[in-house]
Amino acid sequence: VFRLPWSTTLLLLGAPLAWILYTLGFLAVSRDWERDEVDEP
Amino acid sequence: VNLTVLAFLVLYYVVVLAIGAWAMRRGAGDDLEGFLLGGRKVGPLVTALTLQSTSMSGYMFLGAGALAFSHGYWALWYAAGDVGGGVLNLSLIGRRMRKLSQMLGSLTCIEYLERRYPSPATRLIAAGLTVFLLSFYVLAQFIAGGKGMALVTGLPYWVALLVAVAVIIVYTFLGGYLAVAYTDFFQSLVMLVGVLWILAASIAHLGGLGSANRAIAAVDPSLLSVWGRDFVHQGQWGVVLGALLVFSIGYMGWPHVVTRHMACRGRRRRAWRAPTPRSGTCCSCPPLTSSGSWPSSSCPASTTPSWPSSACPRRCCPAP
């Protein structure tokens, strides 16, 4: 892609994709955080 | 001296100093918590952007471009870790630091460590390390600020350095953390627009990504690889791992970054889930790295690594 070697393309597209997946996972895991803290002082 | 650039720079300094004065009038200096942590009332959007802004050091704007200029797409290893540094930081320690620092009544990360792990040695070691290591870090940022300003304005380096440092010190003393957070917020927007502008202008100037990479290959095909010029880092997985980790987990230990967590408003807010850092770093890291590579194709004879930071925008962006 864009005249880049396959390894460079993999790094260019794969790293952001991995972090996007991490973020989605974090958003899913933390969806109850606000509800959990309602009863805290 | 470029007067147009200078005028915009003066305008920029007026804005950040005005933010400092505004923070002072808002009561930033009323008590120590107000000065050091903005009263722990800084909202999620400002927290997210100040976190990213403070993490995007002089390295990101001068060093990353210079690294890519010298070693091509090898610099992407650093960007790959950096892209996720913000969200990793928020997701792992953000909420915990906010809760624990308030429970322990800590206003600084050293105070937090001392109360979390009570021992006379804790403060001594933590303070000693912080002062020693951050002195070099802050010095590097000052040098980067001075060099960046000298490059774009044409002012002598020592004048640029003095002005940049003086403005930072004045607004910090005026408004404490609140001034720092809001100037960071403003600066991060300027940086984001600037970086995306350079990216778009560079692509347009070079005739597209494919053409840019073809031009780089004409200079040296190894610049397109992930192993650096002349494949100097090929198979050095330890170096690769270091490049990936330095800006992904490295953020979490920086005292000035940890402070952002401690100052965020209310634990029930959505700050730790704010998507802003994610989009901010995603947008800024690859363009900064790439815009360092592409000048190597349009000016292969240059041997000055700091050249891309000023010359790329100057060559590619329309003149004001």
Between chains, do A33 and B88 touch, taking CB under 8 Å as contact? no
**Are B40 and B102 within 8 A, CB to CB?**
yes
- Flag if B275 and A12 touch (Cβ within 8 Å): no
pLDDT of residue B282: 43
User: Does the beta-carbon distance from B282 to A30 stay under 8 Å?
Assistant: no
Stated pTM of the model:
0.78
Q: How confident is the model over A1-41, as pLDDT tens digits?
A: 778 899 999 998 999 999 999 989 988 888 887 766 654 54
Measuring CA to CA, which residue among B35, B9, B267 is closest to residue B172?
Answer: B35
The answer to whether B210 faces chain A, any CB pair under 8 Å, is yes
Q: Supply the pLDDT for residue B305.
A: 46
Residue pLDDT tens, chain B, 320 long = 678 888 888 999 999 999 999 999 987 778 899 999 998 889 888 988 888 888 776 677 777 888 888 888 999 999 888 888 888 888 888 888 888 999 999 999 999 999 999 988 999 999 999 999 889 888 888 888 888 888 888 889 999 999 989 999 999 999 999 999 999 999 888 888 888 888 888 888 888 888 888 888 888 899 999 998 899 999 999 999 999 998 888 878 888 888 999 998 865 545 555 544 444 444 444 555 554 555 444 444 444 444 444 555 555 555 44
CB distance from A3 to chain B under 8 Å? yes
A17 touches chain B (CB under 8 A): no
Q: How confident is the model at residue B284, as a pLDDT? A: 47
Four-CA torsion B93, B195, B245, B168, nearest 10 degrees: -60
CA B184 to chain centre: 10
Chain A contact present for B294, CB below 8 A? no
Handedness of CA B287, B229, A20, B54 (dihedral sign): negative
Write down the residue that tokens 């001296």 correspond to: B1
Residue in B250, B277, B212 with CA at minimum distance from that of residue B78: B250
How confident is the model over B268-307, as pLDDT tens digits?
545 555 544 444 444 444 555 554 555 444 444 444 444 4
Distance of CA B17 to the CA centre of its chain: 20
Task: State pLDDT tens for residues B217-256.
Answer: 888 899 999 998 899 999 999 999 999 998 888 878 888 8
